[in-house]
Structure 1
Amino acid sequence: MALAAAPLRRVPTAHPPPRPSPPSQRYTLLRSRHSRRRLPLLLAAAAAVPLTAADTEGRKHELLRAVQETQRGSVASSDQRAAIEEAIVCVEEVGAGEGVPLDLAALDGTWRLCYTSASDVLMLFEAAERLPLLQVGQIYQKFECKDRSDGGVIRNVVRWSIENLLEEQEGATLMVSAKFDLLSKRNIFLQFEEVAVENIKISEQLQALIAPAILPRSFLTLQILQFLRTFRAQVPLSGPERRSPGGLYYLSYLDRDMLLGRSVGGGGVFVFTRAQPLL
């Protein structure tokens, strides 16, 4: 009698055990996970470390170096503007920030413009490029607020000239005066009041044309020269029937020799350094 064939059983295939990662790879993975866990702690610790005075001066130096070749912003490229904006933010981070009120006593004085991206100022430089006889000299902001706690007066001063007619660079002064109120700890509101042209300094060529040196100066020529020297034309920007224009200005950084400001509403940034008082 034939024996029945026994049913075949499938023998399970043994899978090879997983190969262990090389020691260097395991170390890399562990270090990566460890670094990800520690990164927020490291960033927080770095932010908590106060910067030294040398750090602050270093950041200010980098900002001034970045704006040096831009002719106060008139020839700055898009890459330069991006780098300058980063440098400005680095200096602003050093400052007291919004938690500390603006020191009006420290703000008081004369500040010389080193760089701006404000279109209304850049228009002056563009006009000088298009008009070869027009020269734009130094631009200042003069704050008068030493003994005030709520605001003061600001005067925007532009030195300019016309070749062969006025003294070079400083032949005349355009001054825009405004009152400002301290709205918050670092925001001021400007209320413009007057535009004036003054301090006319005529060139030697023009003086010689009006009153030649080889001829005795008459009473009329002397009067003309005196009139030009003392000439002041002013245009009020406010009155009983019209409201003067205004603007919001954020002073983002201030110390003994540097002032940074931002015109709120996309009006541009300003970099100033302390200057000698204007006469």
Structure 2
Amino acid sequence: MTSNTRKANLINAITPVNRGLQMSENQRKMIFSAVAYLEELNPSSSPNNTPELLDGNWLLLFTTSQELLGIDRLPLYKLGNIYQCLRVAEGKIFNVAEIKGLPLLSGIVSVCANFTVVSEKRVKVNFERLVAGSQTLIGYQDVNSFIDTLRSPKKLFAIDFQIKREDQQGWLETTYLDQDLRIGRGNEGNLFVLRKI
């Protein structure tokens, strides 16, 4: 079976589960099986040595992270798009979740981190900053311009604070990477499937 067929199988398996929010045990098994089959054909055995593939904005297609999926369980809010934006040359990761609400209640939650390469597949992640607030008050247009805003010294009209914890143990391992699809696994056992945009 070719990697394109295996990719198609994975996409078909994750499409109906709304990023993992509505998933039966059978669907979960199918997704994990499709992921494992695709990881066997990983064209990038050392993804951290291919920054041109890693770098950019990635849209989350599927995750097992209850921290992320839990946002959808807030009253009056629905989880919009979730992005993981990698700026490899700077060693930065920007996680951005769009939250849909009533007019003027749409929000944004972002966690900024730095990362250091520890192996060909794994990076150590240190979370540095949390930003949460109204899309309107922050002036959110799209993920790219928001990343530019986060990188500027400008203080945002939002909950905006530094995360100061010395004991962080976070890591992220890229287990599959090609031109437009990335599979990652985190230190808490979470699985992430993302598509480059």
CA distance in 1 between counterparts of 2:175 and 2:62 reads: 15
- Which structure has greater helix proportion? 1
**For residue 51 of structure 2, what is the aligned residue in structure 1?**
104
Structure ID, larger Rg: 1
Q: Does 1:269 align with 2:191?
A: yes
CA distance in 1 between counterparts of 2:162 and 2:192 reads: 26
Q: Does 1:189 align with 2:124?
A: yes
Q: Percent identity?
A: 27
Name the SS for the 2:135 alignment partner: coil
Gaps of 5+ in 2: 138-155
**For residue 134 of structure 1, what is the aligned residue in structure 2?**
77
Amino acid at match of 2:62: Y
Extract structure 1 runs of 4+ deviating beyond 3 A.
96-102
CA distance in 1 between counterparts of 2:168 and 2:128 reads: 8
CA distance in 2 between counterparts of 1:179 and 1:243 reads: 13
Q: Deviations over 1:181-215 (max 9, x none)?
A: 1100001110000000256227xxxxxxxxxxxxx
Q: Does 1:231 align with 2:177?
A: no
**For residue 96 of structure 2, what is the aligned residue in structure 1?**
157
| Residue in structure 1 matching 2:115, options 180, 202, 209 | 180
| Residue in structure 1 matching 2:36, options 71, 89, 92 | 89
Q: Is contact 2:48–2:117 with CA below 8 Å preserved after alignment?
A: no
Q: Is contact 1:135–1:163 with CA below 8 Å preserved after alignment?
A: no
Name the SS for the 2:104 alignment partner: coil
Aligned 1:234-249 pairs, distance under 5 A: 234-238=160-164, 242-243=165-166, 245-249=168-172
Name the SS for the 1:252 alignment partner: strand
Name the SS for the 2:185 alignment partner: strand
Name the SS for the 1:201 alignment partner: helix
Name the SS for the 1:139 alignment partner: strand
CA gap 1:245/1:162 in 2 versus in 1, 3 angstroms: farther
Q: Is contact 1:186–1:250 with CA below 8 Å preserved after alignment?
A: yes
CA gap 1:92/1:102 in 2 versus in 1, 3 angstroms: farther
CA gap 1:165/1:100 in 2 versus in 1, 3 angstroms: closer
Residue-pair matches, total: 179
**For residue 41 of structure 1, what is the aligned residue in structure 2?**
none
Q: Is contact 2:48–2:122 with CA below 8 Å preserved after alignment?
A: no
Deviation at 1:136, TM superposition (A): 1.4
Q: Is contact 1:157–1:176 with CA below 8 Å preserved after alignment?
A: yes
CA distance in 1 between counterparts of 2:125 and 2:53 reads: 19
CA distance in 2 between counterparts of 1:76 and 1:196 reads: 29
**For residue 22 of structure 1, what is the aligned residue in structure 2?**
none
- Structure number with greater CO (CA < 8 Å, separation at least 6) is 2
Deviation at 1:265, TM superposition (A): 4.0
CA gap 1:99/1:176 in 2 versus in 1, 3 angstroms: closer
Amino acid at match of 1:261: G
- Which structure has greater strand proportion? 2
CA distance in 2 between counterparts of 1:100 and 1:164 reads: 41
